[in-house]
Each structure stands twice: as structure tokens, then as C-alpha cells.
Chains A and B, each alone.
Chain A
Amino acid sequence: MGVALLSLVGLFIALYLYLYKIGQIGTLVCGTGSCETVQLSPQSRFLGVDVALIGVVGYAVLLLLSLLSLQPRFAGPAWPSRLLALLSGIAVLFTVYLTGLELFVIHAICRYCVASAAVIVLLFVLAVRDLRRSAALAA
């Protein structure tokens, strides 16, 4: 359940950044940090796609998987739980890459990116813990 809640929080963070990126939101509420510097940098796109959009799609998929994994017919270490752990692990690696870009290439930190990083790391930890627990119960 924690995974689903975190996915939803992450989804809104990514949506907020994406709406800003496409000009639907005037200014980012960013008291500290350099949100706009990061969001307007060339690194805010990955293979031609807005990183924020990748976040929106990624969190939406994680949310869907987490809700699926809560259904009784997918109880135990079924494919939604496994896929959830795998995808959130990939997301953590992608976040490490993006944080590296912020620190060493852009030289600016966006608080929303930090929040998203915290969410995805926690989400990954919970997803792996839930998977291991359900596998242990099934054994």
C-alpha cells in the first residue's frame, strides 16, 4: 500500500514539473534551489523526451502495478510485484544518473527532483521488502 501511495505522490511531482515544462504553469514554487535552471537545462531532456514526462509515465506505471499487486488474485510474489521491484530499481538507477547530472553538469539542484529521488528510493525499498515478504509467506 505504501508503494501505491508513494507512486501517486511521485506522479504528482512529475506532473507538476511536466506542466511547467510545457508552459501550462507560470513559475515553479521553488523557495530554495534552482528548479528553473534544472528544468530549462539541455539535460532536462533524455533521448529527446522531457525527463518530467518520463517521470509521469514511469510513476503512472508503478501506480498501476502497485494497485494490481494488491488484488487478491495477484497475492504472493506474482508478476506485478516482481515487475514493480524491477522497474523501481531501474528508476532508482535513472535517478542516480539524473542527480549526477544536477551535481556535476548543471551545478544546480531542483527540490522537486530531490523529492522525487527520495520517493523513488523509498518506493524501491518498500517494493523489494513487500516482494520478499510475500515470497517468504508463499514458501
Chain B
Amino acid sequence: MAASPSGVNRFYLLLGAIALAGIAALVYQVRKPKGVSIPANVTVLAADTAGFRGYVVGSDSAAVEVSEYADYQCPACQSFETIQFPAVREQLIVTGKVRWRYRDFPLDMHPNSRVAAHSAACAADQGKYWEMHAAIYDRQMEWADSRNAASLLSQLAGTLGMDRDAFDACMSSAKYAGRIQASLQEGTQLGVGSTPTFLIGGRLYAGAMSSDSLRAVIARAQPPRTP
């Protein structure tokens, strides 16, 4: 059932035309501007930090406060968040012993870190900070090396039930760039040099600590009980 030579030629022409059209459509889609950038060289204004000192979870009356300086794109931070933090939350935060304060500390070596931090800030606008925070770390492998992390994070926001239009508008505005930079500056002034670093009882502890180590450090940091 051999096709005639002209039929074969027409077939290859059609195949080539479809291939060209498909390639052109894909190239167009890839090169379309995606448009979110969270600048690092931003001037921190008073309004960026007014009334804001990080994202807090835990009781106001907790005896100890832990500030975590972390970078969403840092693998060690991801490891701490996904492996150790659930136990920390359950044993120390939920029980009212510890108040946890998360501070952004985006490292220069991680190009998508600020975008991720900003997406968490935009999630906070919709009351979903901690859900987004956990999801960003959970899906770190998917967005970390992407050229279009903002889009992936926007999709993630959608799966968490956020208003995508509002979220995307927040991301495009880069309105929290100053807040992120202020958080970085604060950590730098304290002596933070790597992530994650924990500030507990006035001392810095660098590296992804285990929940057991954290518990021991926190126990030492607790004020002595009065009889």
C-alpha cells in the first residue's frame, strides 16, 4: 500500500508545516514577558517596617521567642522547615512555650529567593501566610531553578484558594521589596551570615538544628521560674 511520490511529498510538507507552526507557538509562549521582579537595591522606608517585625506564630505570652532568619530557596532551610519544624510547632509553639518569628534573609546566591519571600508576603495579604510559607518550602524543587518562579508561585497561591488576580497584582507591585530588604538588613546587623540562623535568648545559632537541639537551647533560654 505504498503512497505515490507526490502523496509522500505532500505528507512531509504537511508534517513540516505542523512542526514549524508548533515550534513557533511554543517559542512565542516561552518568550512572552512574564514580568515579576523583586528588586534588591531598594531603599527601605519607614513604612516598610512600621509595625512589622516578621511573621509570627505562637502565643504572645510564650516565655521564649525564636527568630528564624531563613531563605526560601536555601536547601538547609527547606530541610528544617519540612523535617524539624512540624515537631517544633507541635511540641513548642502549639503548647505555648515558644513564639516563632520568621524573618526573610534572602541570600544573593539564590535568584528566586526574593520572589518567593514576596509571594509569601502577598499571601499574608489574603490571610494565608503560613499556608503559603509551608507550600513554598514543600515545592522548593519545582520553583527554585525556574526562570519563571513567579508564575509557579502564583499557581501555588491559586491551589491554596487565593484570589489569583489580587495575588498577581501584589507580586507585580513589588510592594514588599523594602520589607524583605529591611529584614535582611536587620539580620546582617545582628550578625547573621548564613541560613537558617536562629536568634534565641539573645544568641545566634547557625544551621538547621534538630528539634531536639532546639528544645534544649530553648529550655536553657527560659527565664528561671519564681517560687
Q: What does the 1/0 interface line of B141-179 toward A look like (CB < 8 Å)?
A: 011001111011001101100000000000000000000
B34 close to A26 (CB less than 8 A): yes
Residues of A with Cβ closer than 8 Å to B? 1, 4-5, 8-9, 11-12, 15-16, 19, 22-27, 36-37, 39-40, 70, 72, 75, 133-134, 137
In the bound complex, residues from chain B placing their C-beta under 8 Å from that of A27 are 151
The 9 closest A-B pairs by CB, nearest first: A23-B146, A12-B22, A23-B148, A26-B34, A26-B151, A1-B11, A25-B29, A23-B152, A36-B155
- Asked if A75 and B26 make an inter-chain contact with CB atoms under 8 angstroms apart, the answer reads no
Contact indicator A133/B1 (Cβ below 8 Å): yes
Total A-B pairs, Cβ < 8 A: 65
In the assembled complex, the Cα of A135 lies from the Cα of B26 at a distance in Å of 39
Interface pair B26/A72, CB less than 8 Å apart: no
**A37 B3 Cβ-Cβ under 8 A:** no
Q: Are B146 and A5 within 8 A (Cβ)?
A: no
- A19 and B29 within 8 A (CB): yes
B15 at the interface (CB under 8 A from A): yes
Q: How far is the CB of B87 from chain A (nearest CB, A)?
A: 23
A21 vs chain B, min Cβ distance (A) = 8
From B2, B14, B143, B151, A72 is in contact (CB under 8 Å) with B2
Shortest A101–chain B CB gap in Å is: 16
Q: Contact between A137 and B1 (Cβ–Cβ < 8 Å)?
A: yes
Closest to B19 in A: A8
A108 CA to B134 CA in the complex, in Å?
23
Expressed in whole angstroms, the minimum distance between the Cβ of A116 and any Cβ of chain B is 14
- Smallest Cβ-Cβ distance to B159: which chain A residue: A40
Identify A26's interface contact among B1, B32, B143, CB under 8 A: B32
Besides A4-B11, A5-B15, 13 other CB < 8 A contacts?
A4-B15, A5-B14, A5-B18, A8-B18, A16-B25, A16-B26, A22-B146, A23-B146, A23-B147, A23-B152, A24-B146, A25-B29, A26-B29
